[in-house]
Structure 1
């Protein structure tokens, strides 16, 4: 045994005497954690039993998955899914995600200030605003797409509205939490210099939270590119409509071409967005 290990072993009785609670085998915290883990395991087992989940049913279907993958190779165009048409649909998907995200961010910015505890006009207004934001984001974008398709008809406008409404609720919550977490010292400095409440928000809060908000908007834009692909399947425009049609007609090579282009687009957006977020975090005051 090394001298360092021997010295640590020699100090062990002293540490036990000074901190007996840390060396106790069973504590209230450890017992609570064990009970929580046991409850989670029991809940999982009950869910598997109640939903009649049979893992053995997966194996027969794996052969079909392999057959689909073989039919997808090599990626190729098809009637109704030529490369120029697919690229136009991808551009439409990108436009839906961009405009929906930007519109939601603009709508959520004032709502975030009204929903934040330190910038709201009244607690009643804050409560109503937060509950309204909960309602907007509590309904999935796919459900909003179905609603808007029935309101404005098929096409990208329905997809744009679906993303905008859903993300307004999400951005409102994220923005309000960022505003509530802003450092109070710059705000107190603005007030001490003679500024009013509006000056406190403009010069004490906004410079701190804008980079955080911009990073959140970029992240949601990435997510909405994928979401706009899904909502297109229900008729809300974009590449999803073309993808659903190719799956329906069993044009698996065209499906693989569309999926490959979607993956390339998402990867490119993710790389650009991550780089922009790193730059903004580096430009954050005090970072």
Structure 2
């Protein structure tokens, strides 16, 4: 029997409750939307949001952009060398911080994977340790290490490394948990030890994911290294902060452009490496 509009209308009139959510569900939805709308309106009020303020800010932002053009062009190698040195420091900070974080996080991540660590209490404690480390923002860690070790790239390297230990350990352990048991069972059936099961059964599955995570976070840490330099951790961010403080906006824009160019090149090269490791062959992206 085919359904017609008349039959649907008659069924809706006879059984209205079947064509809409129950009252309890509708009340929960209404309460949720009311809470969301109230929170949104409160945030606008608390942060003094107004069209007039936004318009004034856009005008001032336009003035700042006007100061940045035309971009500054360094006329001598002696003048340009500190900029290149700052870019190199930022790149080195990101590389060393990412490397140190990965070296520490890699073995620790196995303790947080339930298919490797069968002790629930230990695994839970390790995972909560990941959360504690990730609770500290890299910028806060940089300020702490600057206080302890002084100004310079060392504080930035340690801040990135400590922050990445928590991030890498969590991501690595989740990747290990999502591996298939079949290769491990094959190594076990061949008489392999527990370490051999991990080495030949688990690691080949998880290493492409680990490399992808490492490369992506390295790109992210290059940008983070720029921010860390502004608070005194060295690198190009320190030079950028100095130019902005001195109202040398055209030179600041040139530094920003170099940072963008460096991040783009790193993103392109890491994309090539990821494609090479994972074997997708999509090198043109």
Q: TM-score, normalised by structure 2?
A: 0.85
Q: 1:242 aligns with which of 235, 239, 244?
A: 239
Q: 2:175 aligns with which of 174, 178, 182?
A: 178
Q: 1:160 aligns with which of 157, 160, 165?
A: 157
Q: 1:56 aligns with which of 52, 55, 60?
A: 52
Unaligned runs of 5+ in 1: 1-7
Shift of 1:66: 1.1
Deviates more, 1:133-142 or 1:255-264: 133-142
Deviates more, 1:161-170 or 1:61-70: 61-70
Q: 1:26 aligns with which of 21, 24, 43?
A: 21
Change (3 A) 1:221 1:28: farther
Structure 2: how far apart are the matches of 1:270 and 1:40?
Answer: 37
Q: 1:40 aligns with which of 22, 29, 36?
A: 36
Structure 2: how far apart are the matches of 1:99 and 1:27?
Answer: 57
In the alignment of these two chains, the number of paired residues is 274
Shift of 1:88: 1.0
Alignment of 1:71-150 (within 5 A): 71-77=67-73, 82-120=79-117, 122-150=119-147
| RMSD (CA atoms) | 3.1
Unaligned runs of 5+ in 2: none
* CA contact 1:78–1:251 (8 Å) conserved in 2: no
The DSSP-based 3-state class of the residue aligned with 1:118 is coil
Q: TM-score, normalised by structure 1?
A: 0.85
Structure 2: how far apart are the matches of 1:41 and 1:232?
Answer: 39
Structure 1: how far apart are the matches of 2:3 and 2:88?
Answer: 67
Q: Does 1:210 align with 2:222?
A: no
Shift of 1:127: 2.0
Structure 1: how far apart are the matches of 2:32 and 2:275?
Answer: 38
Shift of 1:216: 0.3
Alignment of 1:217-236 (within 5 A): 217-236=214-233
